[in-house]
Amino acid sequence: MRVLRKFTGFLLALTLIVAGSLSTNTIEASAEGAMVINSAHISGGAVVISASGSATSEDGMYHLIASAANQAAPTGKEVASQGVGSTTFSVPLNKGTADSVLFKKFTICAMVGGKLAPVSNSMFITNPEASASHRPKRMDYGKKGILPALEKNLADKNLVSDLGIKQINLNIPISQLNSLGGYDYSVQKYNSLGIQVNVILLADKAAGKKYISPLSYNGMEKAHSYYGFNASTETSLEDLGNAAAQLASHYSNIGFGQVDNFIIGNEVNAWYKWNYMKCSSNDAFMNEYYKAFRVMYNGIKSENANANVYTCIDHEWARPEASYYISGKEFLTKLNNLVTAEGNVDWRVAAHPNNASLLSPKVWEASKLVTHDQSSAYVTMANLEVLTDYLSLPEMLSPSGQVRSVKLSEVGYPSNKGEELQAASVVLAYNAALANKHVDGFVLLRENDHKEEIAQGLACGIGNTNNEPKMAYSFYKNATDPGVIAQAHAIAGVEFMQTIIPR
């Protein structure tokens, strides 16, 4: 989504240190021995925690502590105990009640010096989908997408159907959870046209302190549009998880429409711009985002087992644009380390591989900032394999050993310098997405021009403000036609598709 300018582990030894990379729950204990929680899985109405190893405990018991994402054991609630030597615990899930452990992480503690101390790593439930109330069949009908015009007089033209669109984006501020009627209309409308819906969930100004991080309230909040989610307390984390679960349940094809994909935040690595919190460091920011993402992931998957959940980065790759950025590469690395340290799950990546200069209408334009290696400053549609190659590294894979899929949830080219350049770029960019099997969606920005973006040189619509088609409209409609691809290459003056590295 563009809102105007855009911009594993742990070490265990006789003296135990449990530390997920960048994790907030670095803990030390002095019990002899160490244990490893290998899994925390829902089975029926219970969570089964399986461990290995052993440790001493002065009272002869192991104590299983359930902690909130912002807590470190032994802070939390004891939910089970077993005699020393036991390695399996079973805890009621209690989903939907005040005693729910859906959003908790589990740690084994022992009695050391008369006090409980952790003797294991911490792990969240990693299969929340096992408790899902709904399992609607996904609408994975194709990669071709667009950010649609939602004004009724424009949307009712149903140009998305004429274009052959198979997925669209909707931005839902979290403040609107109890007033979803207008979104219901859009979701149902596009579903009826055979179009998959992706929702970008945002912490907007109206969300208030219930959902917005206290780190956002520092006198600067009025200068920003979207904020970090509130992961500061056990209560706020429960609120976030429940809100995500509520949204996923509502759009699980139970009468309000179906949403298959949820994106948590917009261009989150550009945290000062789009996920604002005043943090002391990038690591501190990552911890806050991770905690919120973790509980929202579990909330969504616990209601719609077949939903995909994405984080979101912009086109900055191996370098940050400014001190308030984390490069996309570093962001994904840190997020992956945090997730895997406390139980790997199937999170995915939404990316915005726009040109290095947002004002450039030429996807083929050469730049020393766009290269085919991991030191590339930017990832654009010209070097998309840089992103998917990184996600193909063994340490970045999903729990099932698969490459995490990438949704290109915002790709746009302005027509300010001529409709031909825009039209050619749209066609060539879309075909570059088709050439990468790890891409599950290409969402073009946008169906019609946005007046404020026009003033910034970003007339990226394939229709004008009245939704009258530009040249890019017919080009996108027929984007895979060899004749249209040939026309695009003629406009570009280069054989762009010959430079694409398929994956």
Please give the Cα distance from 320 to 298 (Å, whole number). 30
CA neighbor of 376 nearest in space, from 331, 433, 333, 315: 315
Please give the Cα distance from 103 to 427 (Å, whole number). 43
Give me the CATH code for the 16-125 domain, please.
2.60.40
Ranges of the chain with pLDDT below 50: 1-29
Q: Which run of H or E residues covers position 293?
A: helix 282-301
Q: What is the DSSP string of 412-448?
A: ----TT-HHHHHHHHHHHHHHHHT-TTEEEEEES-SS
Pick the CATH number of 143-469 from 3.20.20.80, 1.20.120.920, 3.40.50.620, 3.40.1160.10: 3.20.20.80
Please give the Cα distance from 405 to 407 (Å, whole number). 7
Residue 439's φ and ψ, nearest 5 degrees, are -90, 125
pLDDT value of residue 26: 39
Cis amide leading into 394 (omega within 30): no
pLDDT value of residue 7: 32
- Provide the token pair at 100: 């729910």
CA neighbor of 407 nearest in space, from 266, 501, 276, 302: 266
Please give the Cα distance from 173 to 175 (Å, whole number). 5
| Beta strands per DSSP E along 56-175 | 61-67, 77-83, 88-92, 105-112, 115-124, 144-146, 167-173
- Domain positions in the chain: 16-125, 143-469
Which residues are registered as beta bridge partners of 28?
17
pLDDT value of residue 153: 86
